[in-house]
Amino acid sequence: MSQFDSVTLAPPDPILSLTGAFKADPNPEKINLSVGVFVNDHGATPILETVRSAEKRLAETSETKSYLPITGTPQYASLTQQLCFGEASATSLSNRVITADTPGGTGALRVAGEFIKNNLNTSDVWLSNPTWANHKGIFSAAGFQIKTYSYFNSSSLSLDYGAFIESLNSIPAGDLVVLHACCHNPTGADLSPEQWDEVALIASNRGWIPLLDFAYQGFGSDIDQDAYGPRRLAETGLPLFVCQSFSKNFGLYRERVGALHVLTDGGDEAERVASQVKISVRTNYSNPPAHGGAIVETILNDETMKEKWIAEVASMRERIQNVRHQFVSALSNAGVARDFSFLIKQKGMFSFTGLTKEQAQKLRADYSIYIVDSGRINVAGLTSENLSRAAGALKELLG
């Protein structure tokens, strides 16, 4: 008899468990298209040059490892607000936005979830169908009932805009609605500016609360265009939550860096919201880890470094866009009959291939090609070396 007899075995994480399986696979030709991590054409995830410079500067100038404030430094708040909302708007919104420096986008989502569940009058959250596998876990852990809105047509492998709008129009006032700001994970199917305009209108008319998961700024079109959704929703005057991650665009995955922005009416309301956000942070991790945030702050606070960082993000984005084109050609050259040209239209790291769970598992077992069971691939995992092998495997699998 053990106290742990009551512990049941949890299923492995649908995304992160594949990294372990990939590492353990002895096949020298194995290909990892599972977790959303950028790799260059040599299959490496190097530290960005701007990050390296910022770390050197910090190593020479940092004076303490004492605690940060519960929600991080005011400078981090202001710089990340500028990135999210644009410099001009950030200045006018600064008295209304509450920012917390969080451990990654996941930390931001969890703090937001807990704050909303404990302080606002809702316990229903609406997630995109499909969505990032961890959204459900995060919001369930914060005490929410999970509901889904239509987003993607799995036959045409594209955004089902009509069904999406119909769903948004049926969501009750006060419920929380999680939207992907750009580079929709897992489908890569994004909203156009006009479609965001309509979403903003529906949010205003219906009175539900938008929360934008913003993990891929710069990986879709560019830093500013990818921020259209958060910036447009900020104009509505509605309460708004934005969860930023700097894992991908600063390549700071393991440092766990992100930010939660809550748009309030300002004044006394801002003060009350800030006090409760602090409670969520304090009871979860007390105050944020410093190193990753200090890197982001150093880069964004130095015009030359920031310009260089924007160029580094552009070169990651361009590589992903090129690979999308190359993969579509490689599939057609390999004689794959199915039309994969939709890959070119999708944005960011991910594409929904339409492959079934059985096909994903067969790719893993027979070809050592790792994709998520949902059929999601991380396009950035394709390189000049593995592209034709991946296309050949798909030819054998699909004919």
Instruction: Name the residues annotated as catalytic.
Output: 132, 213, 248
Angle of helix 104-119 versus helix 267-284 axis, rounded to 10: 120
CA distances from 132 to 13, 102, 154, 200 (A): 12, 19, 16, 22
Q: Are 30 and 370 in contact (CB under 8 A)?
A: yes
- Contacting residue, 15, 33, 223, 379, with ligand LMR by CB under 6 A: 15
In 10 A of CB 281, how many CB atoms?
26
Which residue lies nearer to ligand LMR by CB, 245 or 298? 245
Tell me the closest approach of the beta carbon of residue 224 to ligand LMR, in angstroms: 23
- Which candidate, 59, 61, 98, 100, places its Cα nearest to that of 293? 100
- Contacting residue, 36, 188, 210, 293, with ligand LMR by CB under 6 A: 36
Point out the residue whose Cβ comes nearest to ligand LMR.
36
Which residue lies nearer to ligand LMR by CB, 54 or 377? 377
* C-alpha torsion sign, points 320, 322, 325, 329: negative
- Which candidate, 243, 16, 255, places its Cα nearest to that of 133? 16
- 162 to 201: interface string for ligand LMR, x by CB under 6 A: -----------------------x----------------
Tell me the closest approach of the beta carbon of residue 133 to ligand LMR, in angstroms: 7
Torsion of CA 276, 281, 286, 291, to 10 degrees: -130
Q: Does 35 bind ligand LMR (CB under 6 A)?
A: yes
Tell me the closest approach of the beta carbon of residue 189 to ligand LMR, in angstroms: 15
Q: Does 134 bind ligand LMR (CB under 6 A)?
A: yes
Which residue lies nearer to ligand LMR by CB, 306 or 317? 317
Which residue lies nearer to ligand LMR by CB, 305 or 372? 372
φ, ψ for residue 176, nearest 5 deg:
-95, 135
Q: Does 204 bind ligand LMR (CB under 6 A)?
A: no
Q: Does 132 bind ligand LMR (CB under 6 A)?
A: yes
Which residue lies nearer to ligand LMR by CB, 14 or 174? 14
Angle of helix 104-119 versus helix 133-141 axis, rounded to 10: 40
Tell me the closest approach of the beta carbon of residue 212 to ligand LMR, in angstroms: 15
How far is Cα 130 from Cα 372, in angstroms, rounded to an integer? 13
Which amino acid is residue 303, in one-letter code? E
Tell me the closest approach of the beta carbon of residue 340 to ligand LMR, in angstroms: 21
Decide the pairing of beta strands 240-245 and 97-102: unpaired
Which residue lies nearer to ligand LMR by CB, 188 or 239? 188
Q: Does 159 bind ligand LMR (CB under 6 A)?
A: no
Residues that bind ligand LMR (CB under 6 A): 15, 35-36, 132, 134, 185
